[in-house]
Amino acid sequence: MERYLLVMLGGAIGAMLRYGLGAWVQGLLGPGFPWSTFLINITGSLLIGLVLRLSLEGALSPEWRLFLAVGVLGGYTTFSTFSWETLTLVQQGEWLKAFLYVAGSVVLGFVLVWLAYRWAGRWV
């Protein structure tokens, strides 16, 4: 049960950080480009790299890893997990899998959001 509480608390913190930082950045830079999402994705990737390396080296306990990587960063952005998983595939020498994962996630994700948007338009 404690693990779920760590994830829940971290997720709430991450979601609040995403919302607050996103609103601030977009207000500062304007609507011409999705700067807030871009910034959140790249900072989340930076942070998960730090957190998980420290965890792998024993500098962070499993509880802190769960709280920070799954909770806070999971609420902040799942793009950080995507980046970490891609790095893991590359480190394992699985270049083709890494490429397919990146290309498939981006292309298929875009196609599916477009299809869902069109489909939902038929409901209204």
pLDDT tens profile 62-100: 999 999 999 999 999 989 899 999 999 999 999 999 999
Residue 124 has pLDDT above 90, yes or no: no
**Nearest Cα residue to 9 out of 75, 82, 78, 79:** 75
- Per cent of the chain over pLDDT 90 is 94
Most confident of 14-18, 35-39, 78-82: 14-18
Whether residue 74 is annotated as binding a ligand: the answer is: yes
**In this structure, what token pair is assigned to residue 85?**
């998983």
pLDDT band at 25 (very low <50, low <70, confident <90, very high): very high
pLDDT band for 31, please (50, 70, 90 cuts).
Answer: confident
pLDDT at residue number 87: 96
